[in-house]
Amino acid sequence: MTERLRALVVAYAFPPTGGAGVGRPAKLVKYLPAHGVQPTVLTAANPSVPLRDESLLQDLPPDLPVVRVRTLEPGYAVKQAGWTARAGASGGGASAGGPRRLLGQAAMVGRQALMPDPQILWQPAAQIALAGRLARRQDDVVLISAPPFSQFLLGPVARLRPGVGVVLDYRDEWSTVQQSYVMQARWSARVGARLEGAVLRSAHFVTTATEAFRQNLLDRFPFLQPERVVAIPNGYDPADFPADLPGPAPDADRLTITYAGTVFNLTSPRGFLGAVRRVHAEAPELARRLRVRFLGRITDTEKESFEGLEALGVERVGYVPHSEVTPALAGSHIALCILDDVPFVERIYPAKIFELAHLADRTGLEVLTLTPPGALAELVQAHRIGPCLPPRDEVAIAAFLKQRLASFAAGQRSDRARPIGLERFDRRALAGEFAQVLARAHQAAR
């Protein structure tokens, strides 16, 4: 490109917001300038999110323009209180009465009314900000990265300015995210599908995080042109991996297994935790050498599965800044990647798998993936990232743990084969693929 393309990247969740989903837009704007694209970010000034990670701000270009506009949503603590009250009301008991019951009912009504997601309350300010930029001709192309999918409503607004390209980026699937919500009305899926089709018609190009996402979109919406729906995976940033890895030496007395990421219904470790209990029951001497760490937020729906496991060497560390996660993983013997056996996960793989694969390539760390058949299992096998087991097969997982513990106790250390073909997932190269899509969308708009 002879001139720098001006791209507005819309991302409700953006640093200093932490947690899942932030990495894709943050790494994109970090590396787009190297490919002839000058990005600006439009994001929420007061996002209703559970996590903040100030360390993520260090990764952004110092001259990156970031436009932050306010959402009308209540704070995350208020929303969480409503969800908890609703869960208590549906289960009966003391929590089902009085003010908690009313709060739970209000949360249910709000969740059903705010379609396609509660973040639609960000739309008034976001649409005003976008309209102002369009009027001033500040952007050549607009990329909207979701979820939350209410952001896609900005696509038709962007189309009002002739010559401005529109790209909709699917980090996850609309239908999968809706399915994972609790308290959704049955009609929401039908309404969501119609709304999704309407906003897709505003896009010049669509990008997806997996090829399975791409194929599912083409199957569901025949009006989409296949050449304008492009799969660009998530990946790893080499800059996140210090030159002095592997970091702290793993515990010499205990086999350390670490999971890093949010634990929720799609990443539930119930099968793995059941296997830990099984190992302690069947091989207590070996089990004493086992240490398991969970780094990250654990949602309320999953907390009860951890009860009583502290005595079995399972640690809940809580959220750890992103800058500290890589050294913690490198200081482990085994890293966990989990996708539970729930609907729709056959088309998903967590973005964390690419960082784990690169870490395995750099340090020899073993990566254990627990997933049903599907995109993640195929990715792990194709790139030889490590062993892969069904997430709810406690017998198979326990057998794996006992074998590794026995080898560890005997002082046996094997040199494992390193992953292959990881160059495809370098964030620097992936930004180049996005730059090509942005340029094509701008050309299509013109």
Q: Give the rounded percent of residues in the chain with a pLDDT score beyond 70.
A: 87
CATH of 238-423, picked from 3.40.50.2000, 3.90.1150.170, 3.30.70.3270, 3.10.310.10, is: 3.40.50.2000
Rounded mean pLDDT, 212-238: 96
Q: What is the pLDDT of residue 412?
A: 83
Rounded mean pLDDT, 324-342: 93
pLDDT > 70? residue 239 = yes
Least confident span in 37-41, 47-51, 201-205: 47-51
Q: Dump pLDDT digits (tens) for 110-151.
A: 455 577 899 999 999 999 999 999 999 999 999 999 999 999
Rounded mean pLDDT, 224-242: 95
422 burial level (CB within 10 Å; 0-12, 13-18, 19+): middle
- DSSP letter string over 45-94? SS---S-B-GGGGGGS-TT--EEEE---PPPHHHHHHHHHHHHHHHH-SG
Domain 5-75+105-235+426-445 has CATH 3.40.50.1220: no
Q: How confident is the model at residue 322 (pLDDT cuts 50, 70, 90)?
A: confident
Rounded to whole angstroms, how far apart are CA atoms 135 and 160?
Answer: 10
- Average pLDDT over all residues of the chain: 89
pLDDT > 60? residue 95 = no
pLDDT > 50? residue 158 = yes
Rounded to whole angstroms, how far apart are CA atoms 335 and 261?
Answer: 11
Taking the CA atoms of the chain, what radius of gyration do you get in angstroms? 23
Domain ranges of the chain: 5-75+105-235+426-445, 238-423
Least confident span in 99-108, 163-172, 236-245, 289-298: 99-108
pLDDT > 90? residue 88 = no
Q: How confident is the model at residue 108 (pLDDT cuts 50, 70, 90)?
A: very low
Rounded mean pLDDT, 364-375: 95
pLDDT > 80? residue 182 = no
Q: Which residues contact 72 (CB under 8 A, 6 or more apart)?
A: 121, 122, 124, 125
Rounded to whole angstroms, how far apart are CA atoms 322 and 338?
Answer: 19
Q: Which residues contact 281 (CB under 8 A, 6 or more apart)?
A: none
